[in-house]
């Protein structure tokens, strides 16, 4: 197991785009220590901030997290990364495969543009988790994002494919959604605002936009299959999908082929 141990709180934001199990696998510890991670004129390297122990494995553990660790797991295509602590923005951005686990919380834009793999956050996530970064065409694009705590506003903004599971989310979850599935114990105001397609599933929601129309309760095979697929990841979300649900169609101000399912209990 490859281990990076944080010496102290970084003096600036660090960019971990090029720090992953695959990139470290072919390097010696001295070579790895020279990898640039700083984002200012200081020219900080990995060795300036971390004690490094390499063994060539595809498992990377970062001991000691910080909200200044940005783009951890970005563009990861294989292997695993486990962060003991918090991370900063753009966790798993553009990820293609593998798994990233954070025992703490994450900053904004977690999972943005990720097309494969699994991202798991034990704590909370900032705004725009699974959402599109500035000028990007899509947010989460095929990966699985699991947030055990709460997410901020605009969860899954412009999400194109994939799955997001979250305990609770703020306002505008699923905004401008293109496709995919978001399941949550609760969503804030205006879920699905501007969504074109996709599925939102929630135990309870805040205020709905007037362009969402209730279409009644339904017993659909789709919901049973959804519950079955969710059970290995989260039994509570699976139970939600298997329960009595009220369906809302929207956003009718756009294409209008999305759907919001809310617990009828």
pLDDT in tens, 182-240: 999 999 999 999 999 999 999 999 999 999 999 998 888 999 999 999 999 999 999 99
Q: Do the domain assignments include residue 25?
A: no
In degrees and rounded to multiples of 5, residue 192 shows phi and psi of 75, 15
7 belongs to a structural domain: no
Percent of the residues in the chain that have a pLDDT greater than 70, as a whole number: 100
In a domain, 143, yes or no: yes
Please state the domain count of the chain: 1
Inter-residue contact 24 to 80 (CB < 8 Å)? no
CB hemisphere CA count around 233 (13 angstroms): 25
Residue 37 lies in a domain: no
What pLDDT does residue 96 have?
A: 97
* Length of the chain (residues): 265
Q: Which two tokens stand for residue 66?
A: 């910080």
* pLDDT(265) > 80: no
DSSP 27-54: --HHHHHT-B-BSSTT--BHHHHEEEE-
The pLDDT of residue 135 is 85
CA-based nearest residue to 167, from 179, 149, 146: 149
User: What percentage of the chain reaches a pLDDT higher than 90?
Assistant: 90
53 located within any domain: no
**Residue 25 pLDDT:** 85
Q: Which residues neighbour 192 within 8 Å (Cβ) at sequence distance 6 or greater? A: 173, 174, 175, 177, 198, 200, 209, 212, 250, 251, 258, 260
Per-residue pLDDT of 103-123, as tens digits, reads: 999 999 999 999 999 999 999
Q: What angle do CA 128, 190, 213 make, to 5 degrees?
A: 135
In tens, the pLDDT along 28-53 reads 999 999 999 999 998 899 999 999 99
The boundaries of the domain holding residue 68 are 60-263
CB 113 within 8 A of CB 93: yes
The answer to whether residue 5 is domain-embedded is: no
Q: What pLDDT is recorded for position 86?
A: 98
Q: Is residue 34 included in any domain, yes or no?
A: no
Q: Is the residue at 26 inside a domain?
A: no
Q: Given this model, what pLDDT does residue 33 score?
A: 94
Is the pLDDT confidence value at 172 over 90? yes
Q: What is the mean pLDDT of the chain?
A: 95
**Which pLDDT band holds residue 1 (cuts at 50, 70, 90)?**
confident
Question: Please, what sign has the CA dihedral across residues 216, 219, 220, 223?
Answer: positive
């Amino acid at each position: 197991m490859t281990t990076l141990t944080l010496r102290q709180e970084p003096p600036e934001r660090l960019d971990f785009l090029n720090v992953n199990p695959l990139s470290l696998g072919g390097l010696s510890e001295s070579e790895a220590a020279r990898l640039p991670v700083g984002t200012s004129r200081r020219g900080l390297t990995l060795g300036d901030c971390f004690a490094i122990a390499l063994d060539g494995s595809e498992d990377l553990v970062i001991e000691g997290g910080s909200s200044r660790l940005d783009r951890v797991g970005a563009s990861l295509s294989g292997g695993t990364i486990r962060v003991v602590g918090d991370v900063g923005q753009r966790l798993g951005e553009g990820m293609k495969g593998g798994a990233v686990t954070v025992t703490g919380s994450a900053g904004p834009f977690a999972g943005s543009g990720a097309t494969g793999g699994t991202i798991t956050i034990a704590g909370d996530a900032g705004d725009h988790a699974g959402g599109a970064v500035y000028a990007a065409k899509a947010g989460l694009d095929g990966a699985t994002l699991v947030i055990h705590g709460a997410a901020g506003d605009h969860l899954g903004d412009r999400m194109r494919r994939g799955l997001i599971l979250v305990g609770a989310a703020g306002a505008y979850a699923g905004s401008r959604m293109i496709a995919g599935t978001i399941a949550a114990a609760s969503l804030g105001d205006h879920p699905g605002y501007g969504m074109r397609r996709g599925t939102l599933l929630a135990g309870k929601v805040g205020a709905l936009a007037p362009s969402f129309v209730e279409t009644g309760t339904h017993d659909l095979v789709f919901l049973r299959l959804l519950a079955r697929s969710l059970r290995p990841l989260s039994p509570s979300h699976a139970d939600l999908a298997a329960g009595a649900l009220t369906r809302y169609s929207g956003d009718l101000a756009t294409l209008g082929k999305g759907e919001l399912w809310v617990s009828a209990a």
